[in-house]
Amino acid sequence: MGTTQLETVPEPKYWHLKTVLSEALDSEFSVGEILPNERDLAARFGVARATLRQALEQLELEGRLQRRRGVGTTVAPPRVGVAVGTEQHAWPGTAGDDWQPVDCTTAVPPAAVADILEIDHGQPVHIVRRSRMTHGQPVAAELLYVPETSVPALSAIDAPSGAARARAVLRELQRLELEGRENAVELGSARADDARELDRLPGAPVLVVTTRFVAAGSVTALSVATYRADTCRLTFGDSGAVEIHQGPERRAS
C-alpha cells in the first residue's frame, strides 16, 4: 500500500483517503485479509487517526470492510446479488439453491403471514429456517412458511426435527407444480434474532425480500429472507440466479 499527499486535496481528507484505500483493497488485498493496525495506516498516509477512522467507517458502511471482534479489520467478501423481477420459477431447495437448511418447527405464524397464505389465524404451519453464507460469513437468513395443507404427505417419522425435517418439507414442495413466484423488496432494520444470525447489531440496515410461491391457484409457501444491507445488491434480469459478483463488477455496487 503506497503513500499519497492529501494536503492539497480540496475534498475532505477522510473522503479522499477512503478512495485511496478502496483502490488499494482492489489491487493489494484479498478477501478476509487483515489490514494493518490504525497506527501504522495513519503513519503511512500521513493523516490523523481520527481521519483514518472516518475513512474506515465509511468503507465498512459500503460493505468493503468488516470489523471483527478479536480479529481486526478485514477485507469483506464480494456482495451477494439478490435477484428480483425475474421470470424464474423454482422451488426453494432445487439445484443451484445456495441456501442451507438449518431447522424446521411447527408453530403459529404472525397474523400478516397467515393473511398472505390465506389460512386461519392460529393455524400452525411448518417454518423452515435456512441460512446463506459466503466466504464463511453469514449474509442472509430466511424463514419459509409452509402450510400443512401444502405438504400433506410429509412424514414426521421419517424426519422428526432439525435440518432433516427442513429438507423433507422442501422435497415435498418440489412435488407440486409451481405456477409462479412474486418478489417484493424493502429496506428494514435487523431485529434481535436477525442480528444474532447475521452477526450484526440490532437495528443494522437489512434488505427484506418476501417471495410468494403460487401453486394450484393459491399461495402455497411464503419466504421472508433478510439480507445484510452491507453485503448485497439487487440484480434485475431473466436468469433468476443469485450470484456472487467479484472483480470490477463489485466497484459498481
| 45 and 6 Cβ atoms separated by less than 8 Å | yes
Evaluated on CA atoms 81, 82, 86, 92, the torsion sign reads: positive
What does the block give as the cell for 51? 481521519
pTM, rounded to two decimals: 0.69
What's the rounded Cα separation, in Å, for the pair 175 and 95?
14
pLDDT at 244: 37
Which helix (H) or strand (E) element contains residue 186?
A: strand 180-189
Q: What is the mean pLDDT of each run of 10 residues along the chain (253 residues)?
A: 55 84 85 88 89 87 77 80 64 87 94 94 95 84 95 76 91 92 86 85 86 93 91 66 39 33
Cβ-based burial of 181 (10 A; exposed 0-12, middle 13-18, buried ≥19): buried
Class of domain 13-75: mainly alpha
For the chain, the residue count is 253
pLDDT at 253: 32
User: Residues 157, 158, 164, 167: what is their CA dihedral angle, to the nearest 10 degrees?
Assistant: -120
Domain with CATH 3.40.1410.10 in the chain: 80-251
Domain with CATH 1.10.10.10 in the chain: 13-75
pLDDT at 97: 83
| 89 and 130 Cβ atoms separated by less than 8 Å | no
CATH number of the domain located at residue range(s) 80-251 in this protein: 3.40.1410.10
